[in-house]
Amino acid sequence: MAKFEKATSISNWLDQRLNTTGLKKVLMTEYWVPKDVNFLWAMGVILAMTFTMLVVSGIFLLMYYKPDVNLAFDSVNYTIMQEVAFGWFFRHMHAVGASVIFLIIYIHMLTGIYYGSYKSGREMIWISGMLLFVTFSAAGFSGYMLPWGQMSYWAASVITNLFAGGSLEAWGVVEWIRGGFTVNDYTLTRFFMLHVFLLPLAIMGLIGLHFYSLRIPHVNNQEGEDIDFDIEAQKYLDGNKKESKVVPFSPVFISKDFAVLGIFFVFFFYLVFFHYNFAMDPVNFDKANDMVTPAHIYPEWYFLWSYEVLRGMIYDLGSLKAGDIGLIAFAIANGIFLILPFLDKDPKILPAHKRPLFRIWFWLLVIDLIVLTIFGKLPPTDGNALVGFISSVTFLLLFIILPIVTIIDARRRGNL
Amino acid sequence: MSKENSRRDFLGYSFAAVAAVGVGASLISMKKAWEPVPSVLAAGFTKVDLSTLKVGVPKTVKWRGKPVFVLKKTQNMAKSPRDLVINNDRYTIAIGLCTHLGCIPAWKTDVWKCACHGGIFDASGKQTFGPPPKPLDIPMFSLNSNIITLGETGQEYNKISKALV
């Protein structure tokens, strides 16, 4: 038995039993963050807080929502929106939060790509982050089904159909996922379970892994400087705070995070109160009807780029049908970011502005993602389909040439 | 290897065997629990009276939660081995879900157009444009004078499926 003494205070009582002093050091006062970072390094805390807002608003919606095809639509659009006090507030917060969290995820991801924060020891941060992106996508998709409007139903129908694998015609898989021949009551109830229990649970676990994976390699900095965290931390602890290149996560770094968080929340609640319509598709205010497809189906904005890769493949290639190529391209588009650390062959961690060719590659990727997003929303007429085709092919090509681009940069610098 | 070690190994292997059986059985039960339940599988049969159809105007009926198009073709519409022929009348019977991703195509003059990704099917249900990889599926049916029953397999259905292979 360990030795316990009479406690001098509540915190001392806890310290003896839980080693709270040690925990505080590991997580806060001796978890070191470089000084040379900008506001983009605050996105992690913003995401954690936005996720918290989704959980809290979700709990309130959960108390009135009914996962049944006959009741779901009215429980959302009548009970929650019109009867429950502040029901509209929690719904708009949840819908806007779901949209905004993807905006911040994309900024967070692109920041990581720009500064090369995914490689040489930081692979697990990137991989756990991409797994979070995948689970958040699944949560977004399953949640979109719940109001049981026309878009809910048809998006569910189209996306579950993807599992038939095009010409593979694996209909058994689709029917297994749906629990029926078409999207039905059983589909709604099981996706409700996924949305409110299994996926949030997975997300919380992955967030834990994501934070933990940061602890050993530490976060990157703006110029890709190779910081010896032990030496710099010692300088700080010795009182040479000015010379040290690092600051403790808490209370120093977190104060800046909170400042950015404050600005973010003003923006977030501006959207919730005055601009919630962008997250509320008018078509989804028609109740689901399995006999009428809406004139034009499109997913929420954050899925548009991969949706455009799916439908952008409009030409057959030999015996491969266009639809099948689209499906393969869609699968690649959703998985390719996961292996980014292994496609970048440059051994040094440097920001894009110190890697001439990679810098061009990065901005081409950003432009291509924007073009895909815009054309994913437009109807697939001849001209639009062609732009979609070109930008989808460009997306795949960018990842094929990435190893070459990074090798050339490294050779010119003399690192390879 | 010491005696103690091999005894511990034995315990480890016997636990692994018990656990493997348990995990395997649980996975099977979980997989089965997600399958469509019997009342969904035993979805009924739908009857359509072909004599009530207007020439050149398709009728949409619901069968097992899916739309089925039934069209009495005009004389100008091309013949197809997919047609159900009764006397001199030709009928198209097809599941009204785009073979690309399952949206319902809408009838525009003389073709079915899919709003989702722009696929087009002609009056016989064959794809003529866009991403659909194959013609609209033909549901199983049987014929009794002028009435077809969707969900049963009759000789006319078998004849058409054989002609398509």
What CATH number does the domain containing A232 carry? 1.20.810.10
CA distance A126 to A129: 5
Is a pLDDT exceeding 70 seen at residue B2? no
B59 in contact with A, Cβ within 8 Å: no
Note whether A338 and A192 are same-domain residues.
no
User: Could you tell me if residue A81 is inside a domain?
Assistant: yes
Note whether A332 and A415 are same-domain residues.
yes
In a mutational test of the A interface, the residue from B32, B100, B136 whose CB has the highest number of chain A CBs within 10 Å is B100
- How far is B123 from chain A, CA to nearest CA, in Å? 19
CA distance A49 to B55: 61
Q: What is the pLDDT of residue B44?
A: 62
Q: What is the pLDDT of residue B165?
A: 64
3-state percent helix, strand, coil for chain B, nearest multiple of 5: 30, 30, 45
User: Could you tell me if residue A6 is inside a domain?
Assistant: no
- How far is B16 from chain A, CA to nearest CA, in Å? 26
Q: What is the pLDDT of residue A76?
A: 97
- How far is B68 from chain A, CA to nearest CA, in Å? 10
Chain A residue with Cα closest to B103:
A293
CB-closest option in A178, A181, A385 to B64: A181
Q: What is the pLDDT of residue A98?
A: 97
pLDDT band at A96 (very low <50, low <70, confident <90, very high): very high
- CB-CB under 8 Å, B115 with A296: yes
Residue whose structure tokens are 């049981």:
A148
Instruction: Choose the final residue of a domain: A241, A272, A297.
Output: A297
Q: What is the pLDDT of residue B1?
A: 54
* Mean pLDDT, residues A82-104 taken together: 97
Name the B residues in 136-165 with CB < 8 Å from any A CB: none
Is a pLDDT exceeding 80 seen at residue A374? yes
| Predicted TM-score (pTM) above 0.80 | yes
Q: How many domains, chain A?
A: 2
pLDDT band at B156 (very low <50, low <70, confident <90, very high): confident
User: Could you tell me if residue A304 is inside a domain?
Assistant: yes
Q: What is the pLDDT of residue B132?
A: 86
* Mean pLDDT, residues A87-115 taken together: 97
Note whether A271 and A364 are same-domain residues.
no
The chain A residues in contact with chain B (CB within 8 A) are 154, 157-158, 161-162, 166-167, 175-182, 184, 186, 190, 290-297, 311, 313-314, 321-324, 326, 379-381, 385
What percentage of chain B reaches a pLDDT higher than 90?
A: 28
Instruction: Choose the final residue of a domain: A247, A273, A297.
Output: A297
- CB-CB under 8 Å, B133 with A323: yes
Note whether A147 and A261 are same-domain residues.
yes
B144 to A110, B48, B61, B153, B156: CA distances (angstroms)? 64, 10, 18, 12, 10
User: Could you tell me if residue A358 is inside a domain?
Assistant: yes
Q: What is the pLDDT of residue B63?
A: 85
Q: What is the pLDDT of residue A259?
A: 94
Counting beta carbons within 10 angstroms of the beta carbon of residue B99, is it exposed (0 to 12), middle (13 to 18) or buried (19 or more)?
A: buried
Given a contact cutoff of 8 angstroms between Cβ atoms, the answer to whether B40 and A181 are in contact is: yes
* Mean pLDDT, residues A362-366 taken together: 98
- Look at residue B144 and give its three-state secondary structure: strand
Instruction: Choose the final residue of a domain: A248, A272, A297.
Output: A297
CA distance A283 to A293: 11
* List of chain B residues whose C-beta atoms are within 8 Å of the C-beta of residue A321: 131, 133
Note whether A120 and A167 are same-domain residues.
yes
What CATH number does the domain containing A308 carry? 1.10.287
- Read off the pLDDT of residues A133-175 as tens digits, 9 standing for 90 and up: 999 999 999 999 999 999 999 999 989 988 887 777 777 899 8
- Read off the pLDDT of residues A205-253 as tens digits, 9 standing for 90 and up: 999 999 999 999 999 999 999 999 999 999 999 999 999 999 999 999 9
In a mutational test of the A interface, the residue from B117, B121, B128, B129 whose CB has the highest number of chain A CBs within 10 Å is B117
- How far is A363 from chain B, CA to nearest CA, in Å? 29
User: Could you tell me if residue A208 is inside a domain?
Assistant: yes
- CB-CB under 8 Å, A297 with B115: yes
pLDDT band at B43 (very low <50, low <70, confident <90, very high): low
Note whether A205 and A133 are same-domain residues.
yes
What percentage of chain A reaches a pLDDT higher than 70?
A: 100
Q: Which of B23, B163, B165 minimizes the C-alpha distance to B81?
A: B163
- How far is B14 from chain A, CA to nearest CA, in Å? 31
- Read off the pLDDT of residues B63-100 as tens digits, 9 standing for 90 and up: 877 889 999 988 888 888 888 888 888 899 999 988 88
- CB-CB under 8 Å, A323 with B132: yes
Give chain B's mean pLDDT: 87
- Read off the pLDDT of residues A296-330 as tens digits, 9 standing for 90 and up: 888 999 999 999 999 888 888 888 878 889 899 99
HSE (side-chain half, CA atoms, 13 Å) at A277? 3
CB-closest option in A175, A179, A293 to B103: A293
B66 in contact with A, Cβ within 8 Å: yes
User: Could you tell me if residue A224 is inside a domain?
Assistant: yes
Contacts 24+ apart (CB under 8 A), B44-49: B44/B151, B45/B149, B45/B150, B45/B151, B45/B152, B46/B149, B46/B150, B46/B151, B47/B147, B47/B148, B47/B149, B47/B150, B48/B147, B48/B148, B48/B150, B49/B146, B49/B147
Q: What is the pLDDT of residue B146?
A: 86
- CB-CB under 8 Å, A292 with B65: no
Given a contact cutoff of 8 angstroms between Cβ atoms, the answer to whether A199 and A138 are in contact is: yes
Q: Which residue has the higher pLDDT, A287 or A172?
A: A287
User: Could you tell me if residue A273 is inside a domain?
Assistant: yes
* Mean pLDDT, residues A339-354 taken together: 95
Given a contact cutoff of 8 angstroms between Cβ atoms, the answer to whether A119 and B62 are in contact is: no
Q: Which residue has the higher pLDDT, B156 or A53?
A: A53
Most confident residue range from A202-206, A330-334, A410-414: A202-206
Note whether A261 and A275 are same-domain residues.
yes
Note whether A241 and A326 are same-domain residues.
no
- Read off the pLDDT of residues A11-67 as tens digits, 9 standing for 90 and up: 999 999 999 999 999 999 999 999 999 999 999 999 999 999 999 999 999 999 999
User: Could you tell me if residue A28 is inside a domain?
Assistant: no
Tally A–B CB contacts below 8 A: 87
Note whether A257 and A332 are same-domain residues.
no
Is a pLDDT exceeding 90 seen at residue B159? no
CA distance A137 to A398: 23
Note whether A213 and A316 are same-domain residues.
no
Quote the tokens at residue B40: 């969904």
Enter the ipTM.
0.76
Note whether A260 and A114 are same-domain residues.
yes
CB-closest option in A177, A293, A313 to B115: A293
Domain that holds residue A352: 299-416
Note whether A259 and A378 are same-domain residues.
no
B62 in contact with A, Cβ within 8 Å: yes
Chain A residue with Cα closest to B63:
A181
